[in-house]
Amino acid sequence: VACFDTAFHRTQPEHAQWFALPRALTDEGILRYGFHGLSYEYLAGVLPRFAHERADARAILAHLGNGASLCAIEKRRSVATTMGFTALDGLVMGTRSGAIDPGVVLHLIEAKGLSPADVSDLLYNRSGLLGVSGIDGDVRVLEADGSAEADQALDLFAYRAAREIGSLAAALGGLDVLVFSAGIGEHSAAMRARIGGYCTWLGIEIDTAANASHGPRISAPASRVDVFVIPTDEEIVIARAAKALLDGRA
């Protein structure tokens, strides 16, 4: 049984899936596929338990772990996401760079003499929180470290996440619900507070006490956006799909 991590995003409009490349390349399948779809499928499925009447409203799901991405949903269907053709695009991650000017890649190859394999290793394994801090790619380690380099890496992670939240809010035409999930999103109250602090212009106000206790609702009563912490469960999505196939329902 194969459960594709990209399948949840196929409801996106065409323009959300395209790169501005020659049409022939798009026709060959060079598209923004998106990832973490199994996590987003689970979160979209359980959202009515938490958001109630706002479950089908404009929401951003934040899967923040060693691999990190965001997904904008409306009526619990994917509208846009931060990862693209590969799982390298978008947010700062544990060891991955996230979105980067393509010209930097050309510079690394043409001026620095790196091979494609070298560039791949750099962007996937030696960048992100690890690369910026020079210490570690784990948020727990960096939050305990206390050095300026660790704080710079953590702030960049939060800043880039907040910028992408703004981008996805634009794609949705507004924002009603924000969900934090996965390792960092579920367990780092400090990172949730950092990101929320950058997003006050959207009407997000984090309740300090609720955030410290990890929710599930962490938005203050005055917040225009409902903010939740919801643990994800990709494995149950896979198990249900396998059972459906075995039962002849798929």
**Is 63:36 a contact under the CB 8 Å cutoff?**
yes
- Residue 171's CB is within 10 A of a number of other CB atoms, namely 17
Structure token pair of residue 148:
């300026």
CA–CA dist 89, 160 (Å, integer): 12
**Is 70:8 a contact under the CB 8 Å cutoff?**
no
Catalytic residue among 5, 89, 176, 226: 5
CA–CA dist 122, 109 (Å, integer): 12
Structure token pair of residue 132:
């910026």
Angle at 62 between CA 179 and CA 136, to 5 degrees: 130
Q: Is 5 a catalytic residue?
A: yes
Which of 46, 41, 30, 148 has the alpha carbon at shortest distance from 86? 30
Active site residues: 5
